[in-house]
Amino acid sequence: MPVEAIASSAIGTSTMEITISKFELLRELAATQGVVERKTTIPILSNYLFEAGGDRLSLTATDLDLSLRTSCNAKVKREGACTIPARKLHDYVKLLPDADITIKLLENHWVSIRCGRSNTKMVGMARSNFPSLPVFPTANVVKIPAQVLRGMIARTSFAIANEESRYTLNGALMVLKPESITMVATDGHRLAHVERSNEKFEGVSGELKTLVPKKAMDELRSLVDSTDVETIEFAKDDSTLFFRIGQRLLTSRQLTGQFPNFEAVLPKDNTRIISLHGEDLGAAIARVAQFADERSRAVRLKLEKGELKLSASSTETGESEDSIEVDYNGEPLTVGFNAQYIIDFLKAAGAGDVRLELKDSQSAGQLRPAESEDYKYRYIVMPMRI
């Protein structure tokens, strides 16, 4: 029985009584914690909506931008709905013994929770206060392999802008074509671009472009990590994105606006190319960056015959230099980059060799995995004055 059907069958009743296993309830409560609004001025958003119908319990959490609706098996003695404070319930259920839990709606929206010898009453709120949520569209649903989407999020989400003023950069651009999926993220100082071909996306003609907010991407990643579902069903309407992951439905408000023309900044003629072992480069940068200016995090890369020298200095902490042997015979070149930006890429790229591709000291550098992997992955970093 789909989550939406449980929800509609439970509406309009003022009583509810269910028994549920602690393990199943806790699993769903944990899955929804990331969506619950913590510091809200609207008290109902700190609550779960529980709806019992048939032999299922449906749980919903929302912060108005993002919502997650999930469900699990339950013995439903009385169908109905209630709202319960989310953090308190999660923290309390974790401490209960591993036994069945009985949840019952009392008068004035209070909720009774019994488990073994434990008996607790929590103060809920009226079901009618809980915002109504959009319903999963029936048409134009695209199936995306779960691990493919997870891999793309892992390679891009760290490059998303954090400043809320740069609204269209607070998410990643997902481009679906009939046989490929691309994801791009940028904060104006760096850009992560990943593409995967040889995937079949039925129902996609031409290009389907979607701006996915960072919070939705983070939530998708943790949902995929906590399930073995192979495909995610994706759909959207004018204002909302829908991702169905097995029994769980994540909905997100769409970002509107124009994503920058990223193709214009992809380097074309970075001809100075060196291969480096990712772990060696990461370790050297991490050491040197300890002595970089705290605000700029700038590290100097000096490329010479047979050697890449890394250095940083600040008046407060001192200076540091490291070097790595490289196969390079061209003209010397010095360029500055934000150390954290390079470390972020190396973490996302995983173990193995990487290629550093440079043009000159004023142009963007490009990093990519040296071995051709399943994903065509490139990362562009703007240079810094040092």
> Is 42 strand, coil or helix?
coil
What's the burial of 305, exposed, middle or buried (CB within 10 Å: 0-12/13-18/19+)?
A: exposed
> Is 378 strand, coil or helix?
strand
Query: Which residues sit opposite 267 in a β-bridge?
Result: none
pTM, entire model: 0.90
**Buried b vs exposed e over 251-273: b needs ≥16 C-beta within 10 Å?**
bbbbbeeebeebeeeeeeebebe
Residue 379's nearest CA partner among 185, 215, 214, 149 is 185
How many other C-beta atoms are found inside a 10 Å radius of the C-beta of residue 239? 10
Residue 175's nearest CA partner among 201, 149, 208 is 208
For residue range 264-298, list pLDDT tens digits in order: 888 988 999 999 999 999 999 999 999 999 888 99
> Is 363 strand, coil or helix?
coil
- Is the separation of the CB atoms in 47 and 86 below 8 Å? yes
Higher pLDDT among residues 80 and 164, named by residue: 80
Residue 26's nearest CA partner among 118, 112, 89 is 89
Average pLDDT of the residues of the chain = 91
| pLDDT over 70, % of the chain | 94
CATH 3.10.150.10 domain span(s) along the chain: 3-129, 142-262, 267-381
List Cα–Cα distances, 39 to 32, 45, 86, 144, 299, in angstroms. 16, 9, 13, 33, 38
What architecture does CATH give domain 142-262? Roll (3.10)
Dihedral pair phi/psi, residue 47, rounded to 5°: -110, 155
Q: How many helices (H) and strands (E) does the chain have?
A: 7, 25
Q: Quick one: fold of 267-381?
A: DNA Polymerase III; Chain A, domain 2 (3.10.150)
Q: DSSP labels for 147-170? A: HHHHHHHHHHGGGS---TTSGGGS
What architecture does CATH give domain 3-129? Roll (3.10)
For residue range 332-384, list pLDDT tens digits in order: 999 999 999 999 999 999 888 999 999 999 999 999 998 776 789 999 999 99
> Is 385 strand, coil or helix?
coil
For residue range 295-311, list pLDDT tens digits in order: 889 999 999 999 999 99
Binned at pLDDT 50, 70 and 90, residue 167 comes out as low
